[in-house]
Amino acid sequence: MAHGHRATIRWAREAGAVFTDSRYSRAHAWAFDGGITVPGSPSPHVVPLPFSREDAVDPEEAFVASAASCHMLTFLHVASKRRFVVDAYEDEATGFMTPNAAGRLFISRIVLDPRITFSGERQPDAAALADLHHLAHRECFIANSVITEIVVAGIDGH
């Protein structure tokens, strides 16, 4: 069953910006079907201010967040099916950019670093926790959609 996922990306040249001199704002907006609009921009590390926005999400951050969010949602599903009670899940995921064979930068690796709080009598030991993460990774739609290596710190030998 195919289901479309949509995002609308909007950008407009600011009044007076020449554009052909490359001195134009790259700030834009991402609009999603649920009604939320998120400010987008390249990272100020890539495109200097004032042509980018520090307070916006850059595509690379969004990619890392997407992978981490998918892993978390799948982990929660798997944990609930295994009858573990999760009270909190926080992940400080990091994406790493390296050059590919052609010398172009890409996000080659995402390290997830989740901190999970369980409650109740049934607590996962290290092996069960690793199994939950492996199952979550195997079932995550985003992880199945990319070639980027996605590892969980402390679980995947990292």
**Domains of the chain, earliest start first:** 1-57 (3.30.300.20), 59-152 (3.30.300.20)
8 alpha carbon, distance to own chain's centre? 18
Q: Which of 32-36, 76-80, 145-149 has the highest mean pLDDT?
A: 76-80
- Between 6-10, 21-25, 100-104, 149-153, the lowest mean confidence (pLDDT) is in 149-153
**Mean pLDDT of the 116-141 span:** 96
Determine the pLDDT at residue 157.
62
Percent of the chain with pLDDT over 90: 86
Determine the pLDDT at residue 147.
87
